[in-house]
Amino acid sequence: MGLGAVFGGAALEGLHMGALVQPTAAMIVLGGTAAATFVSFPMPTLITAAKDLKRVFLPPQEDPEAVIKNIINYAAKARRNGLISLEQEAQTVKDSFTKKGISLVVDGIDPQKLRETMEIELGSFEEHGKGSAEVFESAGGFAPTIGIIGAVLGLIHVMSNLSDPSKLGGGIAVAFVATIYGLMTANLFCIPFGTKLKHRLKEELLQKEMVIEGLIAIQNGENPHFIEQKLRAYLHEPGGEKKGK
C-alpha cells in the first residue's frame, strides 16, 4: 500500500518511473544500512530478527481464547484426577513455556517458587523478543542518514562535473533518489516491522502471563469456572470477547 501510494502519486504527477530506479542509490542506502545494522548487533540477534520477519505478516499460532480453553481443560482434569494426571499433558503440549510450567506443577513446587521460576523464564523470552524489534528499528534510524550520505555523494559528483552538462542530470538524480530510498526503507519497512514485532511480543507476553496465573490457580485447586473468569479479565473485553489482531 505504501509503495503504491508513493509510486502512484509520482505517476499522477507525470514522473517517469525509470527516474526512481537508481541502482547506485540503492546500493549506497541498502548496503550502508545493512552494514551499520550488522555492526550494531551480535550475529545471533540478527539471525533471530531474520527468522522473526515472518511474524510481521503472520499472527501467533495460538490466540488468548485457545490459551484459556487449554488451561480450563487442565484445571478440570486436575480437579478430577489430581495434579499428577497432568504429567501426560506435559509430554504432549507444543509450547515449551507451558510445558515447563505444567512439569513444575506436577513436581509439586511451591506456588510462589512456581511464579518466580516462570517469571524469570518470561523475562528471558521478553528480552530475546525485544532484540528482533530493536534490529529493525535501528535499521530504520540508519537508513535516512545513509540516504543523506548518498545525496551528498551525488552532489559531489555533480559539482565535480559542472563542466560536463551531460553528467549533471544523473548525479542530481542519484542525490535525490538516495534520499527517497533512505526514507522509504525506514518508514515503509524497517520501523513498521519493528513496531509490529513489538505488538506481537506484547500479545505473546499476555498469553504467557495467562498461563502462569492459570497454572498457579490449578495448583491451588481453584474452581475451573473461577479460573476462566480470572483469565478472561486479561482480555479487557466485555464478556471476554477476543481482541482483534
Which position has the higher pLDDT, 133 or 242? Answer: 133
- CA separation for the pair 105, 84 (Å, rounded): 8
Residue 241 has what pLDDT?
A: 44
Helix 64-81 / helix 224-232 crossing angle, nearest 10 deg:
160
Interval 202-245: pLDDT, tens: 989 999 999 999 999 998 888 888 998 889 888 865 444 444 44
Identity of the residue numbered 190: C
Which position has the higher pLDDT, 88 or 148? Answer: 148
Q: Which residue has the cell 555533480?
A: 158
Three-state SS at 101? helix
Q: What's the predicted TM-score (pTM) here?
A: 0.80
Sorted by where each begins, the domain ranges of the chain are 23-235
Q: Which residue has the cell 529493525?
A: 136
Interval 81-104: pLDDT, tens: 888 888 887 778 888 888 899 988
Three-state SS at 109? coil
The x, y and z cell numbers of residue 173, run together, are 538524480
Interval 162-214: pLDDT, tens: 777 776 766 676 678 889 999 999 999 999 999 999 999 998 999 999 999 99
Say if residues 211 and 101 touch (Cβ distance below 8 Å): yes
Interval 12-63: pLDDT, tens: 888 777 778 888 889 999 999 999 999 999 999 999 999 999 989 887 777 8
- CA separation for the pair 125, 212 (Å, rounded): 14
The x, y and z cell numbers of residue 72, run together, are 480450563
